[in-house]
Amino acid sequence: MNRRATRLGNVLFITVNLLFLLVICSSMIIPLWNAVAVSFSSNLASMQPGIQMWPRQFSFSGYKTIWSILAIWKPFENSAIVSVLGTLLHVFLCSLAGYALAQFHLPGRRWITSLILITMMIPFQAIMVPVYVTMQQLGLLNTLFALILAGTVSGFSILLMRNFFLSIPGEVLESATIDGAGHFRLYWNICIPLSKAGLATVALFEFVGRWNDILTTVLFINDPNNYTLQVALNSLISQGGSMSSGYIVTDNVKMAGIMIAILPLLLVYPFVQKYFVKGIFVGSAKE
């Protein structure tokens, strides 16, 4: 009897969990599916109320309008430049710092690690004013370089790469050192190839963060020509359905902009997905 009751309880527990997960998944999938359907609908059909599961009067007019007439390609280009260059610079500098912290003979290594941990407790909103003043004094306001420079390094990425480098067998590094390899050669020819999972994890986090970032652009950029994609989409949607020129922005145009913003993330993730889970677990295993 107890065994039967336990089995019934397990089935009930699994059923409730599956229903709960189904509700959670639906809350994310249905809005995305609706956005896809509306983006491929005609101008008039997209304005009809209700959730659309399939395009009404299939059309590419929303994509043509936002790409050509509203020139979303320029903010898209700005976002691509900032995200790609910023991510490459971030991965390079954080991996260098992580390699330095992985050296046991580094003086004050534990103190430096503790200071980096402290920086992870300080949100960007708390240091916006000094960062803005610094960018202003450097003459970088209203430039894409300000967006690339902001967030160049982070404590999370440095410590994640440090843990990856610590997981590399010491015998490998000692053998290369005996053969005459210096620190940069150890870093570039041995540590980097053996830490692809960590690099992919840091790169994915940084690319997604930069691509979706809106606060940094609002803080440093006033010139519409240097707006990133997220700021341009926010301006487009907040217009209330019309532009200053009198052009009516229909729902299919807005949804097309959202899909254009999502597409690069969908294209990037499959290439780093196989490293991502491994990177999170291995990077958090070391002390």
- Is the pLDDT at 45 greater than 60? The verdict is yes
- Domain at 63-283: CATH code: 1.10.3720.10
- Is the pLDDT at 5 greater than 80? The verdict is no
278: confidence class by pLDDT, cuts 50, 70, 90: low
Distances, alpha carbon 35 to alpha carbons 38, 53, 57, 235, in Å: 5, 9, 15, 18
What interhelical angle do 229-237 and 196-212 show, nearest 10? Answer: 30
* Among 117, 95, 89, 115, residue whose Cα is nearest residue 183: 95
Q: Which amino acid is at 193?
A: P
- Note the pTM of the prediction, 2 decimals: 0.85
Tens of pLDDT, residue by residue over 252-262, are 888 999 999 99
- Is the pLDDT at 220 greater than 90? The verdict is yes
Tens of pLDDT, residue by residue over 152-180, are 999 999 998 998 898 888 888 888 888 78
Tens of pLDDT, residue by residue over 96-121, are 999 999 888 888 888 999 999 998 88
137: confidence class by pLDDT, cuts 50, 70, 90: very high
Distances, alpha carbon 152 to alpha carbons 24, 259, 271, in Å: 34, 28, 23
